[in-house]
Structure 1
Amino acid sequence: MAVALALSETVRGTTSPNPPVGAVVLDAEGNVAGQGATQPPGGPHAEVMALREAGERARGGTAFVTLEPCSHHGRTPPCTGALLAAGVTTVRYAVADPHPLGGGGADVLRAAGVDVEGGLLAAEVASGPLRAWLHFVRTGRPHVTWKYAATLDGRVAAADRTSRWISGPVSRAEVHAIRSAADAIVVGTGTVRADDAWLTVRDADGVLAPRQPLRVVVGTGGIPEGARVLDDSAETLLARTREPDEVLTALAERGVVDVLLEGGPTLAGAFVRAGRVDRILAYVAPMLLGAGPAALGPSGVSTITEAHRWRVEGVTMSGDDVRVAAVPLTGEGGS
C-alpha cells in the first residue's frame, strides 16, 4: 500500500475532478505484477493501469488500492468489473469511497467472492493525496490551502511593501512543487498590482513546467494590461467578486478540487472569516521587520474568545525556514 500511495502522489494535480489513486497488483505468489495510477479525466483509473501491466499474472492475485474500487460506470467502466474480469481474488484498499455513485465497490466485490478489507494506511492516504478530493466530495467545495511566508514577527512584507525574498530558496522550490499539485492558485488584485505575481510553476532554472494550474485573480479592482498573470503561460480566470463562496462555486463548476490560496492579508482574511480555509502552510523565516503588513487581515475577530483555532499537523524545517502545517479544530475554520 505504501507503493500505491507513492504512485498516487505522482499524479496529484492531473486527475481532477477524479481522485489521484495508486494501485499495485501482486500475482498469486505475492510478487509485484503491475502498478498504475489514475490517468487524466477520461483515461483509465489506477486499477485498470495496474491490471494492464499485470496481464494474466493478476489471476488469483491481490490488488492494493488507495481508494475503494468504484462500482459505477462514469466516463470509464467500473473498476470492480475490471478486477473481477482479471480474476483478482483479494483486494486491500486504504480509504472508503464516500461518493454517492462510486461508493459500495467493496460490497460488490465481496458479493462476487473476493476477499476485501479496507483501512490499510487510511490516515496517511486521507491526509495526503486524497485530502482535497475527499473534502470536495463531502462538501461540494474545493479544498483550500492558505500558503504564506512571513517573518518571525508575522510580517509578509516590509514597511515599504517589499517582500522578495522573505522565504529562502529551499522554501521557494518547495512551494513550486506544491503549486504543481494544485488545480488552481488564487490571489487578489492587490497582490497582482503590488508584486506583478506570475503564479506559474517553474523549475530551479526558471523554466516553466509542462502543466500549469489555473491562475485565479479575485477582486473588483483593475489590474495592469501588461500584468504577467495575463500572459499565455497558463489559463487565468478573473473572478470579479470579493466573496469566497462565489469564487469556490465557480471553481467547483470547472472541476477544480485543490486550491492554493496565495493572496495577501485582505483576501486571506476574507477566506478565514468565511470559514473557507481548510489547511494552512506557513513558512516562517528567521528574520524580523518590526513593521509592514501582517500575514492575516481582518478575519472577524474582535476578542480573544472569537479566535479561529487550529491544530498543528506538523512542523518541519525547510532550509533555514520553519514550515508549519495546521488544520481547523473540529467545528472551526473550513471544516
Structure 2
Amino acid sequence: MAQDAERDAMRDALQLARRGPRGVNPQVGALILAPDGTVLAEGWHRGAGTPHAEVDALSKLAPGAARGATAVVTLEPCNHTGRTGPCAVALLEAGVGRVVFALDDPTPLAGGGAERLRDGGVSVEGGVLADEARDLLADWLTVQRLGRPHVTVKWAQTLDGRAAAADGTSQWITGPAARADVHRRRAGADAIIAGTGTVLADDPALTARRDDGALFDAQPIPVVIGATAVPADAAVRRHPRELLTYDTHELTAVLDDLRRRGVQRVFVEGGPTLASAFVAAGLADELLVYIAPALLGGPRLALGDIGVASIDHARRLRIAALDTLGDDLLIVARPAEGTP
C-alpha cells in the first residue's frame, strides 16, 4: 500500500503534469523520492519529442543518485521506443527501487512498463490517486479508449431548468463570472461546436475572449452543424480560425472527421437541440451546467428529449466538481461508470 509521503508526492506530481501542454501526448509529472521521503528531483513532459517526465526528473540527478529511490509518476512508465526511449528501462538503469504510479497506460504500444519493472526486481504499485489522474487526463483517455475527441457539452440554465424565457430571450441567464469561466474553458478546447439554429438566432462569434474582450491566444476551431447555410455576414465567419461546416445529423461522423484533423477536445455550445443530441447519442463525456438563481418557467428547457422513457433508464452521472461563480453555480458532471 502506498505510504502517505507517496500519496502526497503523487498530488505534487499531478500539479507538475499540468505544466505540460495538452495535446496528442498525455500530461505527465514525476518525482524522485529518497528513502526518507525527501524530494530528490521532479520533472514533467513538455510535449512531443521532449524527455518524458521520469527521464526529465532523472536528468537532474548525478549518476547513481537515484539508486534505491522511489519514482512517483502520474502515468505508468512507458515500455516502448518512440522519439524517446522506454521510461521503464531508464528507471531500471538508474537503479530505482520502487515505482508508484496513478494510471495504467491504456495504449497497446506504450503499456507494459509496470510488468517490465517488476521483472527487473522493482517494487511497483499502481492506482494511487487514480481518480485524480483520470480527471486530469480525461480527454486524452477518451481519445485512446474510443478513438474520437473528448466531448464537453455546456449549457446555462435557471434554477428551474430553463435555457430561455417564453419569448426566446436568453442573454444573459448567468452573470459575468460564469461567462468568463466559459471563455477560459473555450480557450482550452480544440474546437467549439454550435448548431445552425443557434447561429441564426444568436449570431455567436464562437471565440474565446478575455474579460476585456480581447481574444485569447489559443482559439478553438469554429464548427457549425446543420443543413442551413451560415450567412455570409455571420459573426462566426470573422473568427480567426477557418470555419468548418457539416450538413449532417451524424454526430459520430463529425467527430471522426475532427479527429482526423487532429482535434482532441470538443466544446459543444449550441443550444438545447444540439446538447440533447450529443447526450442522447452517448457522446457527452463531460457536462458543464451553469445554474443561475433565477426562475423563468415555461417550455424552453435546457435539455430536450434524450431518449429516457422511465426513471430506470435515467442517464446517471457522477459529480466531478462544484464551483460558485459569483451568484451562479457550476456543476461539472461525467457519466457514471457503466453509463453510456
Same fold at TM > 0.5: yes
Structure 1 residue 112 and structure 2 residue 112: aligned? no
Q: Which residue of 2 aligns with 1:260?
A: 267
Structure 1 residue 3 and structure 2 residue 12: aligned? yes
Does the residue aligned with 1:323 lie in a helix, a strand or coil? strand
Unaligned stretches of 5+ in structure 1? none
Of 220, 242, 254, the match for 2:227? 220
2-side partners of 1:57 and 1:214: how far apart? 48
Q: Would the alpha carbon gap of residues 329 and 33 (structure 1) be closer, same or farther in structure 2, given more than 3 Å must change? A: closer
1-side partners of 2:174 and 2:133: how far apart? 29
1-side partners of 2:122 and 2:308: how far apart? 54
How far residue 167 of structure 1 moved from its aligned partner, in angstroms, is 1.3
CA contact (8 A) 1:160 1:292 kept: no
Matches within 5 A, 1:24-35: 24-27=31-34, 30-35=37-42
Does the residue aligned with 2:155 lie in a helix, a strand or coil? strand
Structure 1 window deviating more from structure 2 (102-111 vs 44-53): it is 44-53
How far residue 331 of structure 1 moved from its aligned partner, in angstroms, is 4.0
Structure 1 residue 176 and structure 2 residue 183: aligned? yes
Q: Residue 235 of structure 2 aligns to which amino acid in structure 1? A: R
Q: Which residue of 1 aligns with 2:199?
A: 192
Does the residue aligned with 1:5 lie in a helix, a strand or coil? helix
Structure 1 residue 84 and structure 2 residue 92: aligned? yes
CA contact (8 A) 1:176 1:202 kept: yes
Structure 1 window deviating more from structure 2 (302-311 vs 278-287): it is 302-311
2-side partners of 1:273 and 1:174: how far apart? 26
2-side partners of 1:227 and 1:143: how far apart? 27
Q: Which residue of 1 aligns with 2:238?
A: 231
Q: TM-score, normalised by structure 2?
A: 0.86
Q: Would the alpha carbon gap of residues 59 and 197 (structure 1) be closer, same or farther in structure 2, given more than 3 Å must change? A: same
Does the residue aligned with 2:329 lie in a helix, a strand or coil? strand
Matches within 5 A, 1:196-207: 196-207=203-214
Does the residue aligned with 2:128 lie in a helix, a strand or coil? coil
How far residue 261 of structure 1 moved from its aligned partner, in angstroms, is 1.6
Q: TM-score, normalised by structure 1?
A: 0.87
1-side partners of 2:81 and 2:338: how far apart? 35
Q: Residue 273 of structure 1 aligns to which amino acid in structure 2? A: A
Structure 1 window deviating more from structure 2 (97-106 vs 131-140): it is 131-140
CA contact (8 A) 2:206 2:239 kept: no
Structure 1 residue 155 and structure 2 residue 159: aligned? no
2-side partners of 1:55 and 1:255: how far apart? 39
CA contact (8 A) 1:16 1:183 kept: no
Q: Which residue of 2 aligns with 1:68?
A: 76
CA-to-aligned-CA distance 1:136-158 (integer Å, 9 cap, x gap): 22222322221111111222223
Q: Residue 71 of structure 1 aligns to which amino acid in structure 2? A: N
Q: Which residue of 2 aligns with 1:17?
A: 24
Q: Provide the aligned length of Structure 1 versus Structure 2.
A: 330
Unaligned stretches of 5+ in structure 2? 1-9
Does the residue aligned with 1:149 lie in a helix, a strand or coil? strand
Q: Residue 291 of structure 2 aligns to which amino acid in structure 1? A: V
2-side partners of 1:98 and 1:225: how far apart? 44
CA-to-aligned-CA distance 1:155-185 (integer Å, 9 cap, x gap): 2223343322211222222223323333322
Of 93, 101, 111, the match for 2:109? 101
2-side partners of 1:78 and 1:235: how far apart? 38
Structure 1 window deviating more from structure 2 (136-145 vs 73-82): it is 73-82
Q: Would the alpha carbon gap of residues 103 and 188 (structure 1) be closer, same or farther in structure 2, given more than 3 Å must change? A: same
Of 294, 303, 322, the match for 2:329? 322
Larger radius of gyration between Structure 1 and Structure 2: 2
How far residue 57 of structure 1 moved from its aligned partner, in angstroms, is 7.5
Indicate the RMSD between aligned Cα atoms, in angstroms: 2.6
Percent pairwise identity: 51
2-side partners of 1:173 and 1:10: how far apart? 22
CA contact (8 A) 1:151 1:288 kept: yes
2-side partners of 1:190 and 1:154: how far apart? 20
